[in-house]
Amino acid sequence: MKKISWWKTNFGEEEIDHVVQSMRNKCFSQGKVTKEFEMALSEFLEVEHVVAVCNGSSAILIALMAAGILPGDEVIVPNKTWIATAHAVQILGAKTIIVDTEQGRPIIDVNLIEEKITSKTKAIIPVHMNGRACNMAKINKIAKKHNLFVFEDAAQAIGSRNAEGLLGTQSDVGCFSLSVAKVIATGQGGFAVTNNFELATKLRAIRTHGVENVKDPYEWPMPGHNFRFNDIAASIGIEQLKRLPERIMHLKNIYDVYEKNLKDSVFKIIPVDIESGEIPVYNEFLVEDRKFWVEKLEALGVETRAFYPNINAAPYLGQTKERFINSEVFAHSGLTLPSGPNQEISSIKETINRIQKIRL
């Protein structure tokens, strides 16, 4: 029986050739190939500045550092996100303020944001989970009213759009990931984007211990760390970016097959608004008795991925006993079925076939 992995992505001969070329040209550290990759991303995303870093988590962290987030400040984040969003806040000694998700969609409920704003609030981090667009128009309006920064966590949203344009480009800084389980990947890696020259200058400096002139620094103007990218990963990224349009189309096709064939099953798809420009990186469902289905599908050779815990479950974040009703549903019942830009349609159909063979 064929084993079907929960995620599948490929790296082709073009990536290998580009890496070899960079190695032969002795391009190893962050250099000209990284700049080429940043320029290609800038063109694709239609933004002025791209700052490549070692991972998406670091992209969020340097954005907060560039904004001057300090111990005691508060940053608003949604309850449904990868824990890195909250960790970036915690590392700086600031406090994570959690807001529940929308009902039925695991993105921040903008109607609950203002009640969490205090005199200590400095920023909002909306997270475009699985390419779903947060209501950026309302978020930016709230931020302007209260003089707050907005940093989009677009780790799962490269290529996704809303009516205003590409996600990750509609705030002070957008933060992206290039880890393996993304539409395009460099193994590890990430980048921050902005149209703000001052923020871009700070982001580049923070990336290298607070100085952009790493060869011959003449002063230590600000704190930073080693968040640098490298030309080997950039060589992979340049070729991966070329594949992005065809991968987006394939991901839409996978979603369509699941949606049509599981619509009358116990698997309830968590919607992605493809018609409005959202890209379904993963195929996410709500299913009762998730443990039963994970075990049954595993026995049939189908790998799945249960949703990770909500961030209010992390005791070190110091949250109260506040209930987050909408996001609790995703934590308890959310399940990702086989996905990925190189997952064959035949594997998707076989997954559906095996699901339909299981009797409750």
Crossing angle of helices 244-261/231-242, nearest 10°?
Answer: 60
pLDDT, one tens digit per residue, over 49-86 is 999 999 999 999 999 999 999 999 999 999 999 999 99
pLDDT, one tens digit per residue, over 316-325 is 998 778 899 9
pLDDT of residue 319: 74
Q: Is 222 exposed, middle or buried (0-12, 13-18, 19+ CB in 10 A)?
A: middle
Q: What is the pTM of this model?
A: 0.95
pLDDT band at 1 (very low <50, low <70, confident <90, very high): confident
Q: Which region, left, alpha or beta, applies to residue 217 given φ > 0 means left and ψ of -120 to 50 means alpha?
A: beta
* Cβ atoms of 41 and 236 closer than 8 Å: no
List Cβ neighbours of 102 (8 Å cut-off, separation of 6 or more).
Answer: 108, 109, 326
Domains recognised in the chain with CATH numbers: 13-242 (3.40.640.10), 244-357 (3.90.1150.10)
Mean pLDDT of 129-147: 98
List Cβ neighbours of 347 (8 Å cut-off, separation of 6 or more).
Answer: 2, 4, 8, 338
Q: Is 271 exposed, middle or buried (0-12, 13-18, 19+ CB in 10 A)?
A: middle
The amino acid sitting at 224 is G
pLDDT of residue 61: 98
pLDDT(237) > 70? yes
pLDDT of residue 213: 61
pLDDT(215) > 70? no
pLDDT(23) > 70? yes
Mean pLDDT of 128-150: 98
Phi, psi angles (nearest 5°) of residue 181: -90, 50
pLDDT(360) > 70? no
∠ CA 234-237-241, nearest 5°, is 145
pLDDT(214) > 70? no
pLDDT(249) > 90? yes
